[in-house]
Structure 1
Amino acid sequence: MSLETVVEDIREQARSRAREITEAADEQAESIVSEAEDDAESIVADREREIERQIAQERERRLSSAKLEAKQERLNARREVLETVRDQVEDGLATLEGDRRETLTRELLEDALEEFEGSEVRVFGRSEDAELLESILADYDASLAGDVDCLGGVVVESDQSRVRVNNTFDSVLEDVWEDQIKAISDRLFEDTDVDGDLAADAETTEQ
């Protein structure tokens, strides 16, 4: 075998080995690229799901916030209506005249006097009702002792029993309002989704 033949055999083996190494490297490179592409697709898919989740959470948060704000606006509007109604009732009581005012005042006085069992009492009332009260008290063992800031009615007290009874129009209205606020709200507003909260809030405000 000549030297040239040996050299050519060595070269052919080297070329064959080089092809094998290149093919193996190409296969490995393709595998790496394929894995990288799969990983990239997985990362993108995960990121898209995360973004969709965040969008859904933000949408829900904003929706809940909008619903809460709308409910609060309804509460505020209804509260204003109830306050207006109460103001109108107070105005009606303050301007009550004639026999109706006298009858209601007398009833409140008699109810208060039952608490004292004949004790000497002092009666207080609205300054504008002084003449009316003097006229009514002439029928009872009581005297007008002074003024009190109220819509009408009487405040009766006694040193002997240390009892003070507030039977003013204001106190009667307060009791009725607390008892009937839910019914009043139901009559004023057809839907009742916030009436419970409104009634509770109105009671808290009045206290």
Structure 2
Amino acid sequence: MTPALEAAYAQPHRRYHARSHIEDCLALLAGQSDLSDRDRRLLEYAIWWHDAVYDPTRSDNEEASAEMARRDLLATGEDAASADEVARLILLTKGHVVPPGDRLGALLVSIDLAVLGGEPEAYDAYAAGVRHEYRHVPDDLFRAGRARVMRHFLDAEAIYPDPAFRDRLEARARANINRELAGLSA
């Protein structure tokens, strides 16, 4: 981890999008046994940088994070093709839509969204962390915006593009989201 990444993930406004989220994602990646060394390295880089820029008042966090990753990786001697692939993967975390056949993209997006399929207590802590990060938004506007985002996940054919994550987490993610939506409308 670079000093810039360490500082980014330690920003005081972060509650969910902090170092612990990165560590959780890296632990899930470690459980993937069928990756080449290069693919694992690219996914590790994408995990480290995917939330490097996180300002809840901006709409271009993923683009800025991808550019930071590209710049930092090139500065450390990584080849341009790898830096470009990491940037591409990071951009997938914006809409969480992965083209068919994109295994690395499916893994990254599924790992990033794994919290949605967590135990209810973990999901509630995640939702509370996100609310804290958006504390500048009035409650009624936050509820409406959050509900719109969460309905987007429910409207998708599958939340998790990776089949193994889908098999393991999809049902619980949908239950968690439905429970949160009920609370948002109360």
Structure 2 length-normalised TM = 0.22
Larger Rg: 1
Give the TM-score normalised by structure 1: 0.21
